[in-house]
């Protein structure tokens, strides 16, 4: 909004970092495009730090052609302030605190539109209600191979938690992963995806 204020959300990055580390342990060359997070860069992994949705899109697009699998767990903002104030806005200057918002690019949606043949695209859906319906809708709408649906209405399965419980949807399947650590969830995610692709 201005040099002192911003709009963000509760995402910690823990799920994405766990996925990056699990992929690296399995022998993948990993590029981690990370929004603001206090987590340290994982060993062996190229980390690109970004702040805005546009910066994330640029970084993702620079690496998209060389990626066999793209997993987008980032909680990208859907809106940004329509106006950025170069100087800190004074409270005396406004009677009411109305902030106008503008849409950000939907990075995953664009990736789905331009998907290379053979490339695997995995999205995340953080939902507080109608989890599976919303997940299926996004799977189709964004042309994804898989979508991991999680419940953010709970303290132990969503933003900031060290644990998660994911339902992995594909065009033909619904796989319930158990409640477990985010680290273990990442491993189970790759087990499920590779089992499905082998079939
Ligand atoms: O439609 P929704 O935002 O719930 O979809 C979530 C999925 O889309 C996540 O995989 C997220 O990383 C991605 N996304 C994105 N760009 C946005 C918003 C969401 O890539 N602006």
How remote is the CA of residue 111 from the centroid of ligand 1, in Å?
A: 11
Q: Which is the catalytic residue, given 9, 61, 114, 130? A: 9
Residue 79 phi, psi dihedral angles, 5° rounding: -135, 155
Give strand pairing partners of 127: 151
* Ligand 1, atom 19, residue with closest C-alpha: 76
Residue 3 has pLDDT above 90, yes or no: yes
Cβ neighbourhood burial of 133 (10 Å; 0-12, 13-18, 19+): exposed
- For 59-116, write each residue's pLDDT tens digit: 999 999 999 999 999 999 999 999 999 999 888 766 777 899 999 999 999 999 999 9
Distances (CA, A) of 103 to 3, 10, 13, 81, 83: 20, 19, 22, 9, 12
Q: What is the C-alpha to C-alpha distance for residues 199 and 191, in angstroms, rounded to an integer?
A: 12
Helices then strands, counting H and E runs in the chain, come out as 5, 11
How far, in Å, CA of 21 to CA of 108, rounded? 21
CB 130 within 8 A of CB 107: no
Vertex 49: Cα angle to 70 and 63 (nearest 5): 35
Q: Is 143 left (phi over 0), alpha (psi -120 to 50) or beta?
A: left
Ligand 1 atom closest to 123 (CA): 10
pLDDT digits (tens, 9 = 90+) for 118-148: 999 999 998 888 899 999 999 999 999 999 9
**3-state class percentages of the chain: helix first, strand second, coil last, to nearest 5:** 30, 25, 45
Band (pLDDT 50/70/90 cuts) for residue 156 is: confident
Q: Catalytic: 9?
A: yes
DSSP assignment letter at 52: S
Who lines ligand 1 at CB under 6 A? 53, 72, 74, 76, 78, 104, 106-108, 123-125, 138
Residue 137, classed as helix, strand or coil, is: helix
């Amino acid at each position: 909004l201005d040099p002192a204020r911003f709009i963000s959300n509760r995402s910690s990055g823990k799920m994405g970092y766990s996925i990056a580390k699990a992929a690296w342990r399995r022998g993948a060359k990993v590029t981690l495009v990370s929004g603001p997070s206090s987590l340290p860069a994982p060993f062996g992994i190229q980390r690109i730090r970004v702040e805005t949705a546009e910066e994330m899109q640029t970084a993702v697009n620079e690496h998209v052609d060389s990626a066999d699998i793209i997993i987008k767990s980032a909680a990208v903002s859907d809106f940004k302030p329509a106006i950025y104030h170069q100087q800190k806005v004074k409270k005396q200057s406004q009677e009411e605190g109305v902030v106008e918002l503008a849409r950000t690019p939907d990075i995953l949606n664009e990736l789905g539109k331009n998907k290379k043949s053979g490339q695997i695209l995995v999205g995340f859906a953080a939902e507080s209600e109608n989890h599976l319906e919303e997940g299926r809708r996004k799977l189709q709408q964004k042309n994804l191979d898989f979508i991991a649906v999680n419940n953010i209405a709970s303290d132990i399965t969503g933003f900031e938690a060290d644990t998660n419980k994911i339902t992995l949807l594909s065009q033909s399947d619904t796989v319930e992963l158990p409640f477990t650590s985010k680290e273990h969830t990442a491993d189970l995610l790759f087990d499920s995806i590779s089992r499905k692709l082998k079939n």
